[in-house]
Amino acid sequence: MLTRSRLVVIPVALLLFGAACETTDLPSAASPPASDWYAYGGDSGGSRYSSLTQIDRTNVDDLEVAWTYRTGDWSHEDGSEGEATGCAACHQGDSKFQTTPILADGRLYVSTPFNRAIALDPERGEELWRYDPEIDIEINRNEGFISRGVSYWQEPGAAAGPCAKRVILPTVDARLISLDATDGTLCPDFGDAGTVHLDLGVGEVREGNYGVTSPPAIIGDLVIVGSSIGDNWRVRIAHGTVRAYDVRTGELRWSWDPIPRSADDPAWDTWPSETAAVQGTGNAWAPLSADPERDLVFVPTGAATPDFYGGARHGANEYTNSVVALRASTGEVVWHYQVIHHDMWDFDVPAQPTLITIPRDGRDIPAVAVGTKMGFVFILDRETGEPLFPVEERSVPPGAVPGEAAWPTQPVPLKPPPLHPTSLSPDDLFGVTPEDLEACRATVAGFRFGEIFTPPSVEGTVMYPGYGGGINWGGLSWDPERNLLVTNLLRLGMWVRLLPREGIELPGSPDALPYGMSRAVLIAPSGVPCSPPPWGTLVGIDLTDGDVSWEVPLGQVPGLAEVPGSEEWGSPNLGGSAITAGGLVFIGAAMDDAIRAFDVETGNLLWKHDLPAGGNATPMTFEMNGRQYVVIAAGGHSSLGSTPGDHVVAFALPDS
């Protein structure tokens, strides 16, 4: 028999992405050496693919830890073992170690949740330098303390001297910092003595609510950056403006606002004119991708404010919830494709657009793959934005409250097929024990159930997929040799309820909205999800025909290992994958503090190794002096409840 105490496996922190709250002519970049992983996604197009083959399916089981480094965010400031000291110790509950290190010019560059930038010797994991921007961690941040990584740029040719090679560090307190990659000192010619302040000229910025969590895109001599802004509680907040800066001087070269501000913009007619003038966000918080050859940068945009009620912004609300191709040299819109019209579900485009190639009719078509929280993957022509597989506009339910004007249709791709179930009924609810099942049913008694795009309501609406995904910032990986996409999915039921705000409206204000909201993950008192397993999967998609090649459970929930059949249930997960030409998919992401390797052609699990903390980040791989390494940040994720830490762990085959 299972006891209740043995089932307390998912902390309250798995209220995941929010608890109850109120709304109110450029040079072409040369292909990187096979040894390098020079950008967050491996390359500027976010493929997360390496052509290295030393580690392959025949020897991956021999991988061992080559070195481990502590950043100091969780250990003592000097990197030694022990609990955090001082102010950092008070705020580690907000820490989300999502970084992917990059390897450039023979050095490994890492960022931490507290925005420290660190250079490491890639073979030994020894610190070469560190820079601490000393962010104020007494201020509550919109999404907590997050940094997914840094960016790298160097002068063309063999230029030398100070800041000829630069590390670009974005921070959660809205700074863009340029560091000399050689020694970690500030580049004084960039902005104000090495820093550009991003929270200026972007509307109403509120303390702790505007920052940058993803590394910017580098294309030519431009650094192009988005922002992370809390967007579920009022209309009038900061604008989600995307900006390009001169990488040497920090001078602003162009800016683009994802919400049209004048009738000259083709998207103006998709907004009420009185709203677009003050409307906030549409922020691009996920990493951008760049195509230097075509002078394009691809921007994944989020929702308009507030997320769950659109009564003040009737219309389709372009360019939000879209992938937008901008002319990198000027910032002008080349094309855009909206994956959600008039979002009412917080269905941001959460992942870096992945630049791929589709073979068709004897030629290779440049394309972009867009992963979404709905579990949909849109495959678009990179030059025009037209879908390369069929997409249907399907009728969806109307809004559930007065004043809401839901868009009548939503786009649904036929191929690849939806990777996440698109509905949940009361009969589908799950419980490991009868008590759990009863509690789950009681939680959602009287709630609305239905297909995806069932609108938020005052009764409460069950969301499946939920506002956390589906696919989240872990994104997609692309194997160009096998023409295969790989992605991991989170499969948790969530709910949202609109809260009438009688008596607290602000007359004459654009924030005088009739509803606030509350939302949460649908879990039993024991912490086990109420939605049916698997709660995490890894999926391979054949891009020749758009069909799913394989799908396997990903991870295991700690505390359920003794439950028969639980090895097939997977785990809630956050993080991404990396593919190698050795036929392997490396991924952490799950709650069980482990990294795994799967066969890219079959999805079979080939290797698993425990980590000292949660591996809720995307791994990377590189080769140095003839030895291939696989590296992952292992520091846990406060929203997922995985084990916290500040470790960077490198694996390699035994050194002969």
46: which 2 tokens? 């976010």
DSSP string, 127-178: EEEEE-----TTSPPBTBEE----EEEE-STT--STTSEEEEEE-TTSEEEE
The Cβ of residue 418 has, within 10 Å, a number of other Cβ atoms equal to 17
Helical residues (DSSP H) of 312-405, grouped into ranges: none
**What strand order describes the sheet that includes 242-246?**
217-219, 222-225, 242-246, 252-256
Smallest Cα–Cα separation from 337: which of 396, 413, 395, 279?
413
Choose the catalytic residue: 173, 180, 295, 346: 346
d(CA 216, CA 227): 10
Is 291 in the active site? Answer: no
d(CA 354, CA 298): 9
Q: Residue 650: CB partners within 8 Å, gap ≥ 6?
A: 65, 66, 67, 68, 122, 125, 629, 630, 631
Q: What is the distance between the terminal CA atoms of the chain, rounded to a whole angstrom?
A: 49
Please count the CA atoms within 13 angstroms of the CA of 143 that sit on its side-chain side.
Answer: 27
Smallest Cα–Cα separation from 122: which of 647, 655, 628, 656?
628
d(CA 139, CA 383): 42
Catalytic residue positions, numbered: 346
